[in-house]
């Protein structure tokens, strides 16, 4: 089952302390870094912690996560592919 | 005034590869990797990753029993440096100071307070006694009888380099004849897990400049230099090991952790050091690179070296795989590598390097080999985009630097966040609940002027610093701006949240945002980003004279012409740990209540209509037992008090010091017909290490409103003291 992007957005908001933003304001396809939400390298590290905490995915090299952090959509696909079997 | 060239007459070291200079050099000569599995504490998540740990007991080498691990390592290195320099400790006195880099401080020991509390539900408050990064400076000054200017520099991984640079400034300005300098940092759970949470650690040990490098390796240690003016060294017949001929500092003002991609700050610091030494790039025969082994550092450092040295980058190497990255000790350990390289005419190798990275396009010296060295450069870079570069030269070299005494400066504006309410503050988990009356700052009225990332990312202390700086006003974009921001405790809130989470969850969910915010220089780095201030970015720490230490660095930057304008300030925040421990130890009472504030004074060499002038500043240490007659004499020798009607002191805080202040004022008044008026400020702002910054605001205001000269006098609880004369 594909993971719900609304839930993922909520977890991104919590992990990154994006106080002024609601899940509806984040476009599935919009870039998370640079433009878009304007996140930076330290936010990427918070996402690494979030992925391990909520989805059991361990990332040891930030380069490994970089393609996944392009947008909410790519992140959801990455989680889907990497999530340990339950 | 003579040239006051700084020379090195003694060195001492303790680190993973050895406990003395000869052992450490042997490891450099052989290219030995000093990394092995961690044994100092248990790390459920990262325990197998190699680290540069000191595995013998510091006490067996003679370290004192009292103090943190960082304090003891520093003490051992300093003892050996003083022995090597044949410096008579009974003659150190007022002309000998101590300036050490320290960024972990007593964290390793104070962490044990939290470990026993959270895991065993037992209270061991004594473990926190030496938490401050200034504690090693006080231990050393007090043990070896140094009564000159003393403070610590806490700018993360550049601390050691910046401390050595500051020591050179103190010598060349004439403020001291000898400075015991260097750096110390022990391993700690916070920094260990913190760097891991940033995914910056190479699980196989660091491989600086190699194509396959995967990050840094951790280390610990201490290294000390006896730095003195050449005249002083010759007068006492000391052997000169090497010279310190250049030093420079800068700030990227770019990001909390990532270096500027083009290495702009690194370039500026290398150029500043060359300028100070009056050397050309072609004069440098070796560079000991910062070379941590992270992808970003090594790439940007190589870019910076190319920019400064063009097609002729001198032989360079990183020795980080020998020591591990010992944070604030690192610049000092590498100073010893540089000095020995000059003495032995050897180019140190770069263990861990196998294959060139085409993106870097430069190969380090792979193995230690013979060379011809006259001048060598050492780079140290740190969080907050903080860069320090020093140049050591052969003892036979005739240096080109000039003595630059500190001059008066103008205060052009002030900005502050001051406590404006007296509140009952209760301590929370994991501490038992106690309630303490405290002087607190209201929520900041101008918080919404911060950008969304500043509101989201910056901790409260950094927000206080940025807002206090903004309240002081923005400098013109053409100005070269430096920032010196003193603090006694740094970001205690951030450090505590990071560590509580780490221990409670057994390292399971580290907090990568909070770790870089917990270093002492994080607020100063954020102010630099906010103001685009690319000059020196320093975070001195010295208990109650933290502000005066920052002010000294500011005046010196202006006198040396390294900055057109300096934001000099001080800050500390209320935090539950000092509230609880102070209550438990009976520190807080009806008069002595904890407080907090952040403040900045903008200083320029001259100004058309300044608020006031800072006309004299002296740092020192008082002797035990406290002698008010000697203290009054010290003040009278430095400042002509006949036209000073007002003294402002740190009394009305910690009660032990009230009587000392009163005795000194009485002594100063003994020979005066017109008595000094004595004012205090801690009744309004509370007690905290950076409180004398509030006293300075009071002094500037009084000088301006009453048109009189004002003396600010501050004593620090572990022995520091400072006087500052403010006049209309």
pLDDT at B446 over 90: yes
A52 close contact with B: CB closer than 8 A: yes
Q: Average pLDDT, stretch A16-43? A: 86
Annotated catalytic residue: which of B232, B260, B290, B439? B290
What's the pLDDT score for residue A20?
A: 83
Q: Average pLDDT, stretch B431-460? A: 96
Q: How far apart are CA B454 and CA B415, in angstroms?
A: 19
Query: Distance of alpha carbon B508 from its chain centroid, rounded?
Result: 31
Mark yes or no for CB contact A48/B199 under 8 Å: yes
Give this prediction's pTM. Answer: 0.98
Annotated catalytic residue: which of B232, B260, B285, B325? B325
Question: Which residues have C-beta within 8 Å of that of residue B348, sequence separation ≥ 6?
Answer: B28, B286, B288, B317, B319, B337, B341, B365, B368
pLDDT at B595 over 60: yes
What DSSP element (H or E) covers B11? Answer: strand B6-15
Q: CA dihedral defined by B206, B211, B212, B217, rounded to 10 degrees?
A: 10
Annotated catalytic residue: which of B102, B146, B157, B724? B157
Higher pLDDT, A61 or B176: B176
CB nearest to A49's CB, from B453, B456, B509:
B509
CB nearest to A20's CB, from B197, B199, B452:
B452
> Within a 13 Å sphere around the CA of B293, how many CA atoms are in the beta-carbon half?
31
Mark yes or no for CB contact A49/B512 under 8 Å: yes
Question: Which residues have C-beta within 8 Å of that of residue B727, sequence separation ≥ 6?
Answer: B612, B613, B615, B703, B708, B709, B710
Q: How far apart are CA B573 and CA B488, in angstroms?
A: 10
What's the pLDDT score for residue B1?
A: 55
Interface test with B, best of A14, A35, A41, A60 (most B CBs within 10 A): A41
pLDDT tens profile B458-481: 999 999 999 999 999 999 999 999
What's the pLDDT score for residue B34?
A: 95
Mark yes or no for CB contact A42/B516 under 8 Å: yes
* Minimal C-alpha gap between B473 and chain A (Å): 27
pLDDT at A40 over 90: no
* Minimal C-alpha gap between A60 and chain B (Å): 7
Contacts of A41 in chain B (CB under 8 A): 255, 257-258
Contacts of A43 in chain B (CB under 8 A): 513
What's the pLDDT score for residue B41?
A: 96
* Number of residues that this document lists for chain A: 86
Is B157 marked active-site? yes
* DSSP-derived secondary structure letter, B376: E
Q: Average pLDDT, stretch B372-391? A: 97
Interface of B with A (CB under 8 A): 197-199, 203, 214, 255-258, 452-453, 455-457, 508-513, 516
Interface test with B, best of A16, A40, A42 (most B CBs within 10 A): A42
A16 to chain B: nearest residue by CA? B456
pLDDT at B347 over 60: yes
Q: Average pLDDT, stretch B699-710? A: 98
Average pLDDT, chain B: 97
B13 forms beta bridges with B223
A17 to chain B: nearest residue by CA? B456
What's the pLDDT score for residue B452?
A: 87
C-alpha distance from residue B290 to each of B311, B318, B365 (Å) = 20, 6, 14
pLDDT band at A60 (very low <50, low <70, confident <90, very high): confident
Q: What percent of chain A has pLDDT over 90?
A: 56
Q: How far apart are CA B170 and CA B100, in angstroms?
A: 13
Is B232 marked active-site? no
pLDDT tens profile B20-31: 999 999 999 999
A53 to chain B: nearest residue by CA? B509
pLDDT tens profile B615-674: 999 999 999 999 999 999 999 999 999 999 999 999 999 999 999 999 999 999 998 999
pLDDT tens profile B218-264: 999 999 999 999 999 999 999 999 999 999 999 999 999 999 999 99
Mark yes or no for CB contact B456/A19 under 8 Å: yes
Contacts of A17 in chain B (CB under 8 A): 456-457, 513
What's the pLDDT score for residue B120?
A: 95
What's the pLDDT score for residue A33?
A: 86
Query: Using only C-alpha atoms, what is the Rg of chain A?
Result: 12
Mark yes or no for CB contact A45/B513 under 8 Å: yes
Is B290 marked active-site? yes
Mark yes or no for CB contact A46/B513 under 8 Å: yes
pLDDT at A85 over 80: no
* DSSP-derived secondary structure letter, B232: H
pLDDT tens profile B478-522: 999 999 999 999 999 999 999 999 999 999 999 999 999 999 999
CB B600 within 8 A of CB B582: no
What's the pLDDT score for residue B253?
A: 96
What's the pLDDT score for residue B477?
A: 94
The percent helix, strand, coil of chain B (3-state, each to 5) is: 40, 25, 40
pLDDT band at A2 (very low <50, low <70, confident <90, very high): low
- DSSP strands (E only) in B264-306: 286-288
Q: Tokens at residue A73, please? A: 């959509």
B256 to chain A: nearest residue by CA? A42
pLDDT band at A86 (very low <50, low <70, confident <90, very high): low
Query: Using only C-alpha atoms, what is the Rg of chain B?
Result: 24
A35 close contact with B: CB closer than 8 A: no
Q: CA dihedral defined by B140, B142, B143, B147, rounded to 10 degrees?
A: 90
């Amino acid at each position: 089952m594909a993971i719900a992007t609304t839930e993922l957005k909520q977890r991104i908001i919590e992990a990154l302390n994006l106080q002024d933003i609601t899940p509806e304001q984040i476009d599935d396809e919009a870039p998370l870094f640079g433009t878009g939400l304007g996140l930076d390298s330290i936010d990427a590290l918070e996402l690494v912690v979030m992925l391990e905490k909520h989805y059991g995915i361990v990332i040891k090299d930030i380069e490994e996560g970089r393609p996944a952090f392009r947008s909410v959509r790519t992140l959801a696909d990455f989680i889907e592919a990497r999530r340990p079997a339950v | 005034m003579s040239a006051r060239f700084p020379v090195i007459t003694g060195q001492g070291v303790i680190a993973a590869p050895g406990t003395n200079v000869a052992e450490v050099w042997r490891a450099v000569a052989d290219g030995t990797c000093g990394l092995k599995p961690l044994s100092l504490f248990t790390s459920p998540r990262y325990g197998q990753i190699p680290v540069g740990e000191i595995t013998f007991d510091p006490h067996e080498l003679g370290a004192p029993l009292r103090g943190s691990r960082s304090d003891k390592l520093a003490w051992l290195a300093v003892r050996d440096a003083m022995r090597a320099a044949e410096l008579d400790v009974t003659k150190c006195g007022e002309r000998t100071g101590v300036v050490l880099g320290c960024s972990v401080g007593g964290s390793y020991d104070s962490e044990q307070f939290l470990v026993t509390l959270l895991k065993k539900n037992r209270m061991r408050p004594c473990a926190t006694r030496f938490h401050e990064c200034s504690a090693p400076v006080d231990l050393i000054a007090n043990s070896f009888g140094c009564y000159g200017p003393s403070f610590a520099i806490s700018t993360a991984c550049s601390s050691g380099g910046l401390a050595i640079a500051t020591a050179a400034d103190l010598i060349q300005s004439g403020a001291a004849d000898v400075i015991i300098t260097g750096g110390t940092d022990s391993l700690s759970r916070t920094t260990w897990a913190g760097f891991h949470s940033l995914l910056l650690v190479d699980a196989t040990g660091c491989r600086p400049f190699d194509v396959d490098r995967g990050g840094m390796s951790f280390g610990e240690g201490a290294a000390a230099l006896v730095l003195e003016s050449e005249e002083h060294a010759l007068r006492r017949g000391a052997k000169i090991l090497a010279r310190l001929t250049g030093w420079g500092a800068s700030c990227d003002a770019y990001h909390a952790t990532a270096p500027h991609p083009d290495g702009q700050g690194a370039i500026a610091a290398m150029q500043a050091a060359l300028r100070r030494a009056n050397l050309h790039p072609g004069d440098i025969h070796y560079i000991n690179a910062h070379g941590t082994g992270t992808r970003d550092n090594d790439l940007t450092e190589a870019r910076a070296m190319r920019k400064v040295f063009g097609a002729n980058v001198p032989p360079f190497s990183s020795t980080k795989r020998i020591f591990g990255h010992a944070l604030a000790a690192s610049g000092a350990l590498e100073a010893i590598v540089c000095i020995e390289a000059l003495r032995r005419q050897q180019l140190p190798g770069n263990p861990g390097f196998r294959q060139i990275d085409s993106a870097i396009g430069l190969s380090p010296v792979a193995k230690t080999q013979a060379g011809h060295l006259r001048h060598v450069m050492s780079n140290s870079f740190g969080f907050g985009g903080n860069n320090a570069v020093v140049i050591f030269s052969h003892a036979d070299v005739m240096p080109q630097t000039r003595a630059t005494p500190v001059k008066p400066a103008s205060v052009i504006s002030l900005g502050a966040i001051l406590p404006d309410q007296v509140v009952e503050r209760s301590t929370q988990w994991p501490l038992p609940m106690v309630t303490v009356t405290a002087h607190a700052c209201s929520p900041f009225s101008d918080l919404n002027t911060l950008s969304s990332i500043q509101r989201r990312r910056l901790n409260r202390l950094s927000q206080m610093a940025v807002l206090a700086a903004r309240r002081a006003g923005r400098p013109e974009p053409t100005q070269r701006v430096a920032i010196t921001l003193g603090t006694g405790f740094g970001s205690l809130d951030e450090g505590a949240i990071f560590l509580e989470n780490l221990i409670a969850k057994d390292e399971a969910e580290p907090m990568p945002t909070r770790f870089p915010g917990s270093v002492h220089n994080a607020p100063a780095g954020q102010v630099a980003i906010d103001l685009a201030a690319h000059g020196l970015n320093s975070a001195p720490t010295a208990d109650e004279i933290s502000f005066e230490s920052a002010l000294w660095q500011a005046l010196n930057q202006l006198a040396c012409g390294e900055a057109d304008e300096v934001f000099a300030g001080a800050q500390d925040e209320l935090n539950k740990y000092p509230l609880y421990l102070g209550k438990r130890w009976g520190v807080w009472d009806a008069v002595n209540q904890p407080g907090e504030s952040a403040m900045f004074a903008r200083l320029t060499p001259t100004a058309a209509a300044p608020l006031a002038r800072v006309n004299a500043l002296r740092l020192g240490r008082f002797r035990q037992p406290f002698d008010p007659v000697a203290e009054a004499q010290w003040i009278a020798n430095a400042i002509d008090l006949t036209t000073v009607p007002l003294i402002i002191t740190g009394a009305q805080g910690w009660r032990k010091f009230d009587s000392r202040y009163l005795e000194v004022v009485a002594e100063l008044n003994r020979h005066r017909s017109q008595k000094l008026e004595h004012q205090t400020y801690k009744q309004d702002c509370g007690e905290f290490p950076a409180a004398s910054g509030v006293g300075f605001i009071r002094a500037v205001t009084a000088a301006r409103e009453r048109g009189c000269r004002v003396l600010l006098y501050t004593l620090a609880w572990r022995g520091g003291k400072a006087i500052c004369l403010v006049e209309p």
